[in-house]
Every structure is written in structure tokens, then in C-alpha cells.
Amino acid sequence: MTDCINSLHSDTLRVTSIPHTSKGYVIFSGVPLKKNSYKANSGKYFITIKSDASALPVSPAVGQRWEVSGQRRIQIVETGDYLIQEHTYESPAEVNCTLPDTGEQLISFIAKEKAFKGIGESKARALWELLGVNFHTTVQKDTPESRSLLIQVLSDDSVDALYAVYAKYKNLSACNL
């Protein structure tokens, strides 16, 4: 429909779908987030990222929070009876998956990431209440001391899942310390 290419721009999004993934290329979409928040910014547009898989730090998954910057194309697309803007970043200048750094962001991320087996919103909230800003430093290393804290809220299986998933994002944790 209507196409418009903007100069450099940046957005933060929560991934809601991954319509295409192959060995070399990935397309994922999501809702824009308010700056420093877990809440959606606008229902008037959605964001699509098209990138070489090798340019991404991790494979995208529903629920993840990503920051993107580069040239974007804005087009109006029809969705049922509605017109909505799609902001597309094709081969963006920069794209990063970020770990949540506030309580509500972290709770939402853990509760929605399916890989955190056995940890829903109530347990994620209990983890935040227990660990607060020390969450990342606590789960960064699997130690008996860390496990003794986590076992206050989680089962042994859920603690194992927490460490396994966190290890997947370990390369991103330095951004949050």
C-alpha cells in the first residue's frame, strides 16, 4: 500500500511471531514497547525485522525483547477490516536481544518464555520479590548458595530449567549488570 522509507530510526519490541526462519534468514515481528517498560507502546503499528540469521546474537523467540535501529520502511497493511502500519527493518544496522532489567519486564519475560518450564507469572513474581535487582547476578552462576535461594520459590526441575535457559542468554547478561 503506502510506502515510506525513513532515515535511521530505533525501536524496542516484544516478539509476538516468527513467520519465517531458515538456516540463513529470519523474519520476526512484534509490538513496540514504551521506553524502559514492558508495556506496549502503540496498537497503531507493529514492527517486522528481516535479517541474516548470522547477524543475530540469539535466535528470536516469542516473548523476547529486542532493540533495533537502522532504516525502516513504513507501509499500511490491511488486517481484516483494519488498516495498520508495519514498520519494517530489513538488514538493520543494529539488532540486539536484551534481557529485561526491571521487575515487571523480567516477570513478563520469564512467564511468557516457554523454555522456563514450571515458572509462570506467580513464580516469576516471587523470584523478583526474593532476588530483586540481584536476579541476574544470582542466576549467572549455578552455585549451592544460588540454588538454596531459588529452591525457596521453585522446584528442583524449575531451578534446572531456569539455569538452562539463562545459559542460553548468558552472553547478553553483561548488558544488565
Once rounded to an integer, what is the mean pLDDT over residues 101-129? 87
**Residue 42, pLDDT score:** 66
**Residue 157, pLDDT score:** 93
Distance CA 106, CA 115 (A): 14
**Residue 2, pLDDT score:** 52
Beta strand residue intervals within the chain, DSSP E: 3-21, 25-32, 45-52, 65-79, 82-90, 94-98
Once rounded to an integer, what is the mean pLDDT over residues 147-156? 95
pLDDT tens per residue across span 4-40? 665 789 999 989 999 999 989 999 999 998 766 656 6
Between 87 and 111, the more confident residue is 87
pLDDT tens per residue across span 31-77? 998 766 656 666 789 999 999 999 998 889 887 889 999 999 999 99
Whole-model pTM: value is 0.68
